[in-house]
Amino acid sequence: MTEADIARAARSQPVITDKDIDAAARKNRMPTEAELARVPVPVTPRIDALPQPQSQRKIDLGAIAGGYDAMGQPDPAKGSLPVGPTLLVFVSFAMPETALGRLVDQAARTGATLVLRGFVEDSLQKTVSRVQRVIGTRKVGFQIDPQAFDRFSITATPSFVLIKDGAVPAPCAAGTCFDTSSYALAAGDVSVDYALRFIQRTAPRFSREAETYLSKLKGG
């Protein structure tokens, strides 16, 4: 590019004057304090106004969505472990109603805890309504814990996990985990008593814990 070309290019560029700068400043001025005061302030949403499940009987949402004691984990509020063995029954609402109803009945009689992976259609309200319909008037522990499925490598429902009396969990990728020697696992479309007898046959060291729950079924 020659000097003549550079000169022509310079002459073709727009010239910005002080008058142009003042006009732009007036057009894009900062708002005054009075103008800012008139801007509405966002209101914090009312959590208590969220829709509530329509149910004739109160559902313990804390028991459904959590449950340190039922999982054999230390409760931060209590700083202790549950006494005695723990029986977890992993279920899904995709199971046949008759099979699920049978497990609910046996869990109520033995004190076992039913564990779900997650919410029904990602809705707490639909989950509570479904749990209410399945439980009815029976007293049974229900909790939602997707990490528990990973913690015990659950791949099918129903599955039954019997945790040994006095077992202590340790930190792991799924939060807290039990050593494989401290629990026994049975899976299949069977009843609680069948699963417990299967554990007694295949893992005799858990016979005493299994018998604890079998005796409740016999007595109940």
Q: Domains in the chain, ordered, with CATH? A: 59-219 (3.40.30)
Residue 48 is predicted with a pLDDT of 43
Whether the CA torsion 173, 174, 179, 181 is positive or negative: it is negative
* Distant-in-sequence, close-in-space partners of 17: CB < 8 Å, separation ≥ 6: none
* Distant-in-sequence, close-in-space partners of 74: CB < 8 Å, separation ≥ 6: 68, 80, 81, 169
Q: What CA–CA distance (Å, rounded) separates 55 from 121?
A: 19
Residue 32 is predicted with a pLDDT of 67
| Type of residue found at 37 | A
55-100 pLDDT tens trace:
344 444 444 444 433 334 444 333 334 456 899 999 999 999 999 9
Block mean pLDDT (10 aa), the chain, length 220: 57 62 66 64 46 42 43 37 77 93 95 93 88 89 91 94 89 83 95 96 95 88
